[in-house]
Chain A
Amino acid sequence: MQNPYLPFPVRIAEIITETEDRNLKTFKFEFINPEDEDKFAYKAGQFGELSVTGQGEIPIGIASSPVEKGFVKFTVNKVGLVTTHLHNMKVGDVMGIRGPLGNSYPWETLEGKNVLIIGGGFAFTTLRSSIIYMLHPDNRPKFKDIHVIYGARSPGMLLYKDELAEWEARDDINVHITVDGTDDPDWKYNVGFVPTITEEKAPPADSDTYAIICGPPIMIKFTQPVLDKLGYLHDNIIMSLENRMKCGIGICGRCNIGKEFVCKDGPVFTLSELTHIPKEY
């Protein structure tokens, strides 16, 4: 059995600065040993441990999609020791990735259903992975209506702007982009917080409609009552959690919420499941 602590060696192939505050960068990695790509076969919603040699590891959601081949992508916010070091690295540098880790969004359950994606700020990474996955020609027929509500503080803080514009133009996905505020007179999308836009734009609730929510705690706190009001079932509200992690494989003991490990039993839980679990996240 493979040593689960040993990262796959990767090379940074591309670095994209995503936001105007330059705090969010997307790193595109290529596996140094091509056979490792198969070992890293993942589903949308899973995460990886990025290993920066000499600095440490960080758990980050996978932003690329299983239908994108030849590379993996992670969008990283500059926060602490490892992420700050990573932000200063350059194309061609060698580091490591462990994974894929955690469960994923429940793709078998979601097939044949309407999917509402609600994202805020930089928590849009695994949601991007999910959208790319669902829009792939092989997969799009498997899902009914797809709605996306995505908000950021300002237009310059939105991730993946080119792709957002591309999805906007398509007729097989309903994209509702919003910002908290802007002084851009040409802004052609919504202005308002995510909960408000959700109330206006979310499709009607029924047992065939699932919501995936990923965002800062404040957004989740105010969006959940809106979904309740709209009649969404708690079994149909899917959330992805974060906690401090080290091993990522349910062994080191720090990310538990009750008897579940966020890293191994999660990070994806339904709101129904979370109702019975201590809120230690």
Chain B
Amino acid sequence: MTVIKIDKTEFASGLEKLKGSNKLFSPAKKGKDFEFAKLDAGEVPDLEGCRNTGMSPKSLIYPQSETMFEYTTEEADPDANLMKDVEKDYAPRVVVGLRPCDAYSFKLVQRNFESPEYRDPYWADSYEATAFISIACSQPYSTCFCTTAGCGPFHEEGSDIILAEDGDGYIAKAVTEKGEKLLADAGWATTAEGGEDKFASLKKAAEEKVTSSIDISKVRDMAILDLYEADFWEKEAFACINCGTCTFVCPTCWCFDIQDENKGKEGVRMRNWDSCMFPLFTVHGTGHNPRDQKYMRLRQRYMHKLKYYVDKYEDDVLCTGCGRCIRMCPVNIDIRRICDKMNSYVKA
């Protein structure tokens, strides 16, 4: 795949060209954090200032609240009580300046929204309409553990183009066909090729800066039920307040609720992010709740990330090592510590 050097002037002018036929999104400072926002004409993303965004980019593909259908219950209407599709905007979009771990997260989540049996049209259409220009990390947080979570600061899977900062410009590597096309559309493809060696050396240096890690080597061979019944869950969950922050900031948490919202006789069926941290998530109509204690809910989240997903898809963890859940947790629950508890667990 093509590797080229782009100076920052060319980068900015290329983005302006892309804005002609795409909506661009990139990190923008909002309050103390960076969040993804639409880039208007003339706006240049602040890629240097942002180590990573507070919220992951998942809402760009999978909004926190999304209308699925609309309806009327007005009996005089010939379409009364029928669900109608709503207009959706799946025009081409480009996300510029997300981190490689976040770009990779969509690949993990894709398995859920596009299974062999069912295709979630809202997620899948939105994902297909979007291209990702990620920027490799040179300043990881102390909470980053991507290199042992199936990706890394220069990880390519999930990105269409990956950028690496190099002096007063970027080394850009097209990872997919979509990425090659973006290079051409932005006019960057005319720039001098080269930079592979520099890219590789930057990658090596960046990976060495990620010093924290997780290890699931033993978890893989343990029985689900043994880990589920392990004795450490209540202790690890002691401080948890079930606030759900970890699930909302997580790029790979995908659970949702479906609700009908009415205004008079008009209404919409919508879905909203939900969280396995909330007691109502699993409560039955009878009042019975299979996860009626908070440690059970905490156990569900970490077992899903580090064991159920690994077993179900015979793959790596449902986690990119972005560290948001560690940074944002109000009571300092740390997925690395819980992973260590799981991996070092010996059944009594």
State the A residues within 8 Å of B (CB): 1, 3-7, 9, 51, 53-57, 79-80, 83, 93-96, 217, 242-244, 246-247, 249-256, 258-259, 264, 276-281
CB-CB under 8 A from B112, the residues of chain A are: 250-251, 253
* Pair A280/B290 contact, Cβ less than 8 Å: yes
Contact A55 B290 (CB under 8 A): no
| Smallest Cβ-Cβ distance to A7: which chain B residue | B83
Residue of B nearest to A281 (CB): B290
Interface contact B73-A54, CB-CB below 8 Å: yes
Q: Which residues of B contact A247 (CB under 8 A)?
A: 256, 258
> For residue B258, which residues in chain A have a CB less than 8 angstroms away from its CB?
5, 56-57, 246-247, 252
B328 at the interface (CB under 8 A from A): no
Pair A252/B83 contact, Cβ less than 8 Å: no
Contacts of A7 in B (CB 8 A): 83
Residues A55 and B82 in contact in the complex (CB < 8 Å), given A243-B290, A249-B117, A259-B308: no
- Given contacts A53-B81, A250-B118, whether A278 and B228 have CB atoms under 8 Å apart is yes
Complex Cα distance, B83 from A54, in Å, reads 10
B224 A264 Cβ-Cβ under 8 A: no
Which chain A residues lie closer than 8 Å to B117 at the CB level?
Answer: 249-250, 264
B283 CB–A CB distance under 8 Å = yes
- Chain B binding surface SS class: mixed
A254-B281 CB under 8 A given contacts A4-B118, A51-B83, A249-B117 = yes
Chain A residues with CB under 8 Å of B267's CB are 53-54
Given contacts A56-B259, A252-B258, contact A94 B80 (CB under 8 A): yes
Please encode chain B, from 291 to 318, with 1 for each CB lying within 8 Å of some chain A CB and 0 for all others.
1000010001001100111011000000
| Cβ proximity bits B109-145 to A, threshold 8 Å, 1 near / 0 not | 0001101011111000000000000000000000000
User: How far, in whole Å, are A80 and B286 apart by their CA atoms in the complex?
Assistant: 8
Q: Which residues of A contact B300 (CB under 8 A)?
A: 256, 280
With A253-B255, A258-B224 known as contacts, the answer to whether A79 contacts B81 (CB < 8 A) is no
What's the tally of chain B residues with a CB closer than 8 Å to chain A? Answer: 52
Cβ of B225 < 8 Å from any Cβ of A?
A: yes
Proximity bits, B55-93, A CB within 8 Å = 1, else 0: 000000000000011010100000011110100000000
Query: With A4-B118, A94-B80 in contact, do A254 and B290 touch (Cβ < 8 Å)?
Result: no
A35 vs chain B, min Cβ distance (A): 16
Chain B interfacial positions (CB closer than 8 Å to A): 68-69, 71, 73, 80-83, 85, 112-113, 115, 117-121, 223-225, 228, 254-260, 262, 267, 269, 271, 274, 276, 281-286, 288, 290-291, 296, 300, 303-304, 307-309, 311-312
- Asked if A251 contacts B118 (CB within 8 A), the reply is yes
Name the B residues within 8 Å of A258 (CB-CB).
Answer: 224-225, 228, 303, 308
Cβ distance B63 to chain A, nearest Cβ, rounded Å:
15
Residues of A within 8 A of B113 (CB): 251
Q: Which of B120, B260, B281, B304 contacts A56 (CB 8 A)?
A: B260
Interchain CB contact under 8 A, B285 and A280: no
Q: Are A276 and B224 in contact (CB under 8 A)?
A: yes
Q: Which residue of B lies closest to A261 (CB)?
A: B312
A-B contact pairs, 26 of them (CB 8 A): A1-B119, A5-B68, A5-B258, A5-B269, A6-B69, A7-B83, A56-B259, A79-B286, A94-B82, A96-B82, A244-B281, A244-B282, A244-B284, A249-B118, A250-B112, A250-B117, A251-B112, A252-B257, A253-B255, A253-B276, A256-B300, A258-B308, A276-B224, A277-B224, A277-B225, A280-B290
A53 engages B83 (CB within 8 Å): yes
Min Cβ gap B157→A in Å is 22
The answer to whether B286 touches A252, judged by C-beta atoms less than 8 angstroms apart, is no
Q: Are A252 and B118 in contact (CB under 8 A)?
A: no
